[in-house]
Amino acid sequence: MYLNNNVTEFILLGLTQDPVRKKIVFVIFLLFYLGTLVGNLLILTTIQTSRALGSPMYFFLFYLSFSDTCFSTSIAPRMVVDSLLKKATISFSECIIQVFTSHFFGCLEIFILILMAIDRYVAICKPLHYTTIMNRRVCNGLVAVAWVGSCVHSLTQIFLTLSLPFCGPNIIDHYFCDLQPLLKLACADTYVINLLLVSNSGAICTVSFVILMFSYVIILHSLRNHSAEGRRKALSTCISHIIVVILFFGPCIFIYTRPVITFPMDKMIAVFYTIGTPLLNPLIYTLRNAEVKNAMRKLCSKKLISDN
């Protein structure tokens, strides 16, 4: 493993080098990040304090909001601060940490979305056995497996990255440290490493997306045997999940399932899944879910009464 690299820091070019546009980036993405924090923390607090939201679906939604918050926090704050700097730099160790955390929480979100699909499948296709199959012990075990799987995935990425020598140049044409931009800077043949990275990240994204879409096809097909009210409620929940899956996996598959070739739209597509999706998830899950909205109203009412 190459531990003695000549490169001790990287220069991040960000989304733009234009001073006026950098100020616009600062304002927009600061608002996006604050919206992400407020929305996801509100969901976390609501689920944690509401007895009505004690089902496995909301147990997994809690961890989805948690992973969204951490995933966005691993990228957005530095991006916001860097947009105010004339020259944005990041040390080699900080860059590696950012790669680890972004991939860890991004992978955790993928696994949580799969667990949410499993939960909906059991709830809709095997309703009589739902409470037995999806008990708290099973749910805790599934989440623990998701954490371990995410850690293994991220450690693999870090190991492969650290196996490469970096001797210059040190300019990353991106707003955060990610695998593809780093591979371009390595002063060694990265063909095999790139194949391993694509087979890791790309396979996780693509296979998970196929599994999720196939599971929701099965779920939607099984709804024909339910009552009109049951169909309406199940459809509302499943459509919310499908929207989240498409918004998150579409950009990820585009970025991580191809060789180290950069396109002009890469950074904007990365913005969509690193900044946009964590902001949209709370909106999707609250606006389309009556139980969450009612629990939030009760939480706000209790807060107002306690303040008075």
Strand order in the sheet with 88-91: 88-91, 9-12, 171-172
What is the CATH class of 9-307? mainly alpha
Orientation of helix 136-162 relative to helix 56-73, angle to 10°? 20
Residue 269 pLDDT? 84
Neighbouring residues of 33: CB distance < 8 A, sequence distance ≥ 6: 72, 76, 77, 80, 275
182-195 confidence digits (pLDDT tens)? 888 888 877 888 88
Is the pLDDT reported for residue 274 higher than 90?
Answer: no
Residue 308 pLDDT? 55
15-44 confidence digits (pLDDT tens)? 888 889 999 989 999 999 999 999 999 899
The mean per-residue pLDDT over the stretch 228-243 comes to: 77
Q: Higher-confidence residue: 161 or 144? A: 144
Is the pLDDT reported for residue 258 higher than 50?
Answer: yes
The mean per-residue pLDDT over the stretch 168-180 comes to: 85
Closest of 43, 239, 200 to residue 107, by C-alpha: 200
- pTM given for the model: 0.88
My answer on whether omega of the bond before 169 falls inside 30° of 0, hence cis, is yes
Where do runs of H (alpha helix) occur along the chain?
19-49, 56-73, 76-82, 92-125, 130-133, 136-162, 179-185, 191-197, 203-222, 228-256, 266-271, 277-287, 290-307
Using pLDDT thresholds of 50, 70 and 90, give the confidence band for residue 60.
Answer: very high
Residue 261 pLDDT? 64
The mean per-residue pLDDT over the stretch 264-285 comes to: 83
Using pLDDT thresholds of 50, 70 and 90, give the confidence band for residue 231.
Answer: confident
Is the pLDDT reported for residue 3 higher than 50?
Answer: no
Residue 4 pLDDT? 46
Q: Higher-confidence residue: 42 or 264? A: 42
Using pLDDT thresholds of 50, 70 and 90, give the confidence band for residue 264.
Answer: low
Q: Higher-confidence residue: 288 or 193? A: 193
Using pLDDT thresholds of 50, 70 and 90, give the confidence band for residue 1.
Answer: very low
Is the pLDDT reported for residue 260 higher than 70?
Answer: no
Closest of 295, 292, 278 to residue 38, by C-alpha: 278
Using pLDDT thresholds of 50, 70 and 90, give the confidence band for residue 167.
Answer: confident
Evaluate the CA torsion angle 243, 262, 77, 99 in order and state its sign: positive
The mean per-residue pLDDT over the stretch 260-289 comes to: 79
Break the chain into its structural domains and give their ranges.
9-307
Q: Higher-confidence residue: 106 or 168? A: 106
Q: Higher-confidence residue: 73 or 234? A: 73
What percent of the chain clears pLDDT 70, i.e. is strictly above it? 94
